[in-house]
């Protein structure tokens, strides 16, 4: 192991599931100076934001209960990684010197600019601030006012279900179909639950315009063959698609078309050996994993291990992660636990109803208690399911280990 007279400075940008776990795991070495940069003073459980918006649960946790001793929290936003001077520029005007950076800025869920007025009138559910605005809007909205949720993926389903169980009149506009990541039996279960709870599901509907009191659907779909149907909507929630903060591109680093940092299979930036990606904002070999809390933890751990290997002067291990399925909640008393092959392909088996809800809640608690908090107590303790599908392997000796 390489010896260093001065602490090795590691800046972790982003305090979500991947970044927080990476910061804790880095503490396997005592000679590291670790700073976690996050725009909020608290950890956001993104997988609970639909509960927060509907007032059926909370979605924030005090970092003091999550971070290991010695990790500094900088409540700020990174605006640029200056690779020439090895500094991270912050929105406050401060700059943090680094030897290594973990880029774990996560993902965003803004309405696309191609949909007129969506950005100004629709409320995203993917970030804490927008979920808080949604919560406030719901408080002011009459109980029988029509609410439209745009997006038939897991986030849209969970949001629609949570609101419907609270007695809201909900329309779910799916676009590409309802729950495309689930198996056919799983989709049928979700569709029946939504129907029983009064949710109107437009399985092929596409929103082309958002108005203050309505949404407009595209022509030529099964839900709107004539075109231009205007549906009342006192509140429109956007849960379709993901984006990525532009930090990597703004720093002159190569990204994929969505803005994710391009890395090799060790999560090391293809442009700079001292920058390592993690979570939703990383694209290993241009083949990113599904954006999910499931993948965020292992990617955060992998990123930390890569940094530790480079400091030690050893070759980092390539990415190896297998999937096991997904969970989608349907209010507080039901859920679907979809089983899948290791390559994330769903199989025709799922656990639904109350047992599914129990599994979903256990999974949410496991991410925090058994991964992040345990890693704070026992750095290096986290393991994950491996043996996933073959990925691009880095050529032997393609990168040289660097030391500060």
Q: Supply the DSSP symbol for 271.
A: S
> Each residue of 10-65: pLDDT tens digit?
999 999 999 999 999 999 999 999 999 999 999 999 999 999 999 999 999 999 99
pLDDT score of 201: 97
Q: Which of 10, 151, 117, 4 is CA-nearest to residue 70?
A: 10
CA distances, 273 to each of 253, 256, 330 (Å): 12, 18, 43
pLDDT digits (tens, 9 = 90+) for 63-96: 999 999 999 999 999 999 999 999 999 999 999 9
**Integer Cα distance of 6 and 187 in angstroms:** 56
pLDDT tens, position by position, 341-354: 999 999 999 999 99
Q: Over the chain, what is the mean pLDDT?
A: 93
Is 283 within 8 Å of 269 (Cβ atoms)? no
Tell me which H or E stretch contains 32: strand 32-38
The least confident of 198-202, 305-309, 368-372 is 368-372
Give the bridge partners for 89, in sequence order: 80, 95
Neighbour count for residue 105 (Cβ, 10 Å): 31
Distance CA 340, CA 336 (A): 12
- Distance CA(214)–CA(198), nearest Å, equals 19
Q: Could you give the CA distance from residue 102 to residue 105 in angstroms, rounded to a whole number? A: 9
Q: What is the pTM of this model?
A: 0.93
Contacts of 211 (CB under 8 A, 6+ apart): 117, 121, 230, 233
> Is 404:4 a contact under the CB 8 Å cutoff?
yes
Distance CA 114, CA 205 (A): 16
Report percent pLDDT > 90 for the chain. Answer: 87
Give the per-residue pLDDT at 270: 97
């Amino acid at each position: 192991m390489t010896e260093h007279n001065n602490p090795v400075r590691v800046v972790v940008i982003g305090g979500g599931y991947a970044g927080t776990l990476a910061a804790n795991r880095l503490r396997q070495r005592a000679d590291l100076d670790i700073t976690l940069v996050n725009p909020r003073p608290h950890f956001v459980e993104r997988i609970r934001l639909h509960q927060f918006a509907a007032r059926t649960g909370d979605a924030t946790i005090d970092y003091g209960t999550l971070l290991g001793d010695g990790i500094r929290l900088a409540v700020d936003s990174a605006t640029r990684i200056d690779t020439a001077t090895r500094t991270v520029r912050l929105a406050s005007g401060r700059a943090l010197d680094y030897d290594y950076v973990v880029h774990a800025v996560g993902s965003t869920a803004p309405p696309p600019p191609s949909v007129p007025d969506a950005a100004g009138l629709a409320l995203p559910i993917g970030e804490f601030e927008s979920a808080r605005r949604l919560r406030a809007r719901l408080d002011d909205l009459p109980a029988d006012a029509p609410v439209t949720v745009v997006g038939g993926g897991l986030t849209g389903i969970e949001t629609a279900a949570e609101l419907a169980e609270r007695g809201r009149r909900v329309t779910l506009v799916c676009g590409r179909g309802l729950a495309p990541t689930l198996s056919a039996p799983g989709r049928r279960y979700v569709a029946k639950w939504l129907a029983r709870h009064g949710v109107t599901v437009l399985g092929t509907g596409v929103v082309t315009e958002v108005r203050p009191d309505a949404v407009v659907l595209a022509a030529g779909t099964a839900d709107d063959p004539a075109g231009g149907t205007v549906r009342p909507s006192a509140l429109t929630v956007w849960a379709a698609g993901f984006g990525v903060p532009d930090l990597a591109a703004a720093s002159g680093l190569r990204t994929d078309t969505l803005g994710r940092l391009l890395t090799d299979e060790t999560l090391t930036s293809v442009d700079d050996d001292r920058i390592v990606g993690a979570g939703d904002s990383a694209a290993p070999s241009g083949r990113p994993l599904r954006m999910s809390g499931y993948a965020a933890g292992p990617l955060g751990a992998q990123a930390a291990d890569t940094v530790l290997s480079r400091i030690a002067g050893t070759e980092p291990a390539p990415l190896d992660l297998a999937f096991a399925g997904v969970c989608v909640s349907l209010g507080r008393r039901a859920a679907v636990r979809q089983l899948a092959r290791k390559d994330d392909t769903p199989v025709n088996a799922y656990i639904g109803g109350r047992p599914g809800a129990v599994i979903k809640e256990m999974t949410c608690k496991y991410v925090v208690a058994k991964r992040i908090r345990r890693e704070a107590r026992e750095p290096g303790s986290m393991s994950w399911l491996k043996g996933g599908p073959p990925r691009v392997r880095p050529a032997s000796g393609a990168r040289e280990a660097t030391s500060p």
